[in-house]
Amino acid sequence: MIHRVKPCARGLHCVDPERDAQGNSVPRFTQTPFCTKDTQQISQVLTEAHGLWQQLSAALPKGSRRLGEHVSGSKAPPIPIRLEVLTQMELLKTLVEDHAALVRGHTLPNRRMEVVVVQDSEYLRVHLSSLLAKQYGVVAGLSLLDWRSTARRLLGLNRYVEKRKAPCPQCDAMALMRKDGEENSICKVCGIVITQSEYQRWVLWITNDLDK
Ligand SMILES: [Zn+2]
Ligand SMILES: [Zn+2]
């Protein structure tokens, strides 16, 4: 099926932006709902999903993995955090279970939560192009990306290691950040994503400009 060429559904958060005629950074144009790199990101979320789910589960104090239970002892995370962790675990289960059922055409009954997470994440990873091509595919993809980002935040894995020294090329705010292990910088104010080579060219351009 030939799709019309449209901007990547990740919008300003597209990890592989391109430049328009005016030199502004815009989401990559693509025939699929998400550009190739963002499709890979979603596939990666599905690959990592069970591991992150297990880490969330391990972050809960032992013997208190159910809502409403009392926890004693100083090692327990504060209750609002615990609720967030549990909510996040439930959310993944619902996300992958509902979407796998839609793609598969039927539900699979009587499975433990972790089994659903393992089986349905893998099912969706294998059938990712079918999922994304559906009417609800874009929402599903964005929800999975959001899920990983929140899970990583709860686990303390989303560290901003580097605040970049140059202002944002789009909004001028001193808010460009680069996350652990990532090539791209993102502006925390306007959300623009720029690649490492674009950042270097931008720095070169402003320093040349200052020298004049
Ligand atoms: Zn993209
Ligand atoms: Zn900005």
Kindly give the distance from the C-alpha atom of residue 158 to the centroid of ligand 2, in angstroms, as a whole number.
20
Give 146-155 pLDDT, tens digit per residue: 999 999 988 9
Cα–ligand 1 centroid distance for 12 (angstroms)? 8
Buried b (16+ CB within 10 A) or exposed e, 113-147: eeebbbbbbbbbbeebeebbeeeebeebbbbbbeb
CA distance 147 to 16: 20
Q: Taking 50 as the threshold, does the pLDDT of residue 71 lie above it?
A: no
pTM here is 0.72
CA of 3 to the centre of ligand 1 (A): 16
- C-alpha 32/C-alpha 124 separation (Å) is 17
* CA 212/CA 208 separation, integer angstroms: 7
Which domains, and CATH codes, for the chain? Answer: 34-158 (no CATH), 159-212 (2.20.25)
Q: Does position 87 have pLDDT exceeding 80, yes or no?
A: yes
Q: How many C-beta atoms surround the C-beta of residue 166 within 10 A? A: 16
Six-digit token string for 3: 């799709």
Reported as type and span, the H/E element at residue 26 is strand 25-26
Q: What distance in angstroms lies between residue 66's CA and the mean position of ligand 2's atoms?
A: 41
| Tens-digit pLDDT profile for residues 153-176 | 889 886 666 788 899 999 888 889
Q: What are phi and psi of 24, to 5 degrees?
A: -80, 150
Distance 14 CA to ligand 2 centre (A): 14
Question: What pLDDT shows up at residue 4?
Answer: 74
Q: Quick one: pLDDT at residue 17?
A: 87
Strand partners, 160: 179
Q: What is the DSSP string of 128-186?
A: HHHHHHSTTHHHHHHHHHHHHHHHHHHTT---EEEE-SSPPTTT--S-EEEETT-S-EE
